[in-house]
Amino acid sequence: MPLPMPAWRRRAVLRTSALLGAAVTVGPLAGCASTVPVAVATHATDPVCADVVLSTPDVLGPGLHRLATSAQATTAWGTKRAPVVLRCGVQPPGPTTERCETIQTPNGPSIDWLVIPADAAASSTGAPTDWTFVTYGRVPAVEVHVPAEVAAQRSTSFLDALGPAIARTAKERSCV
């Protein structure tokens, strides 16, 4: 005949059962989450990057709502298939011949961006191409990748909405 289970043991078994039940319930739901895979940047552990990412807007424009990402110091907007991805802590660019544009944020800071088409020949003819924007003269540097599908449908003027977050980085030089 088995001995009766002490009360403390019954409570422990009930707690464990409840936790396992919650894990079984939450586990399948977590698999449905739409996480954008993103490579972590070299200097993503810079504490300023956390501040930058937390300061970015939840929405960059119609259809560009925040998405979850898989890497530290990153965020994304849009769809998992064609996300606009921000990575903080990329290698700061040195002197360059890339096009550099200053974007003035309404009622806020101006941010210098290097404008880099994935396919220079396509961009010169107006054909769709991916675009990468990298802050110039700011540490840590921030990169925003805009897929061709997004650039073909809308202006990249949404970069001005990132100005207040990017302004949290240290400005060391400018385009001009």
Residue 60: Cβ-neighbour burial (10 angstroms; 0-12, 13-18, 19+): buried
Q: What is the per-residue pLDDT for 97?
A: 92
Residues across the chain: 176
Q: Mean pLDDT for the chain?
A: 84
Q: What is the per-residue pLDDT for 165?
A: 96
Per domain, the residue ranges of the chain are 1-33, 35-171
Q: What is the per-residue pLDDT for 99?
A: 95
Q: What is the per-residue pLDDT for 123?
A: 65
Q: What are phi and psi of 94, to 5 degrees?
A: -90, -160
DSSP E strand boundaries for 79-122: 83-90, 99-104, 110-117
pTM of the model: 0.78
Look at residue 11 and tell me whether its pLDDT is greater than 60.
no
Taking only the tens place, the pLDDT of each residue in 136-162 is: 999 999 999 999 999 998 888 899 999
Q: What is the per-residue pLDDT for 31?
A: 44
As given in the structure block, the two tokens for residue 11 are: 């409570």
Q: Which amino acid is at 97?
A: T
Taking only the tens place, the pLDDT of each residue in 86-132 is: 999 999 999 999 999 999 987 789 999 999 999 876 667 777 789 99
Kindly give the residue spans of alpha helices, DSSP state H, lying in the chain: 7-31, 47-55, 120-125, 148-153, 163-166
Closest CA to 136 of 107, 170, 87, 161: 170
Determine the Cα–Cα distance for residues 28 and 129; give it in Å rounded to an integer. 37
Look at residue 17 and tell me whether its pLDDT is greater than 50.
no
Residue with tokens 């290097």: 114
As given in the structure block, the two tokens for residue 126 are: 């107006």
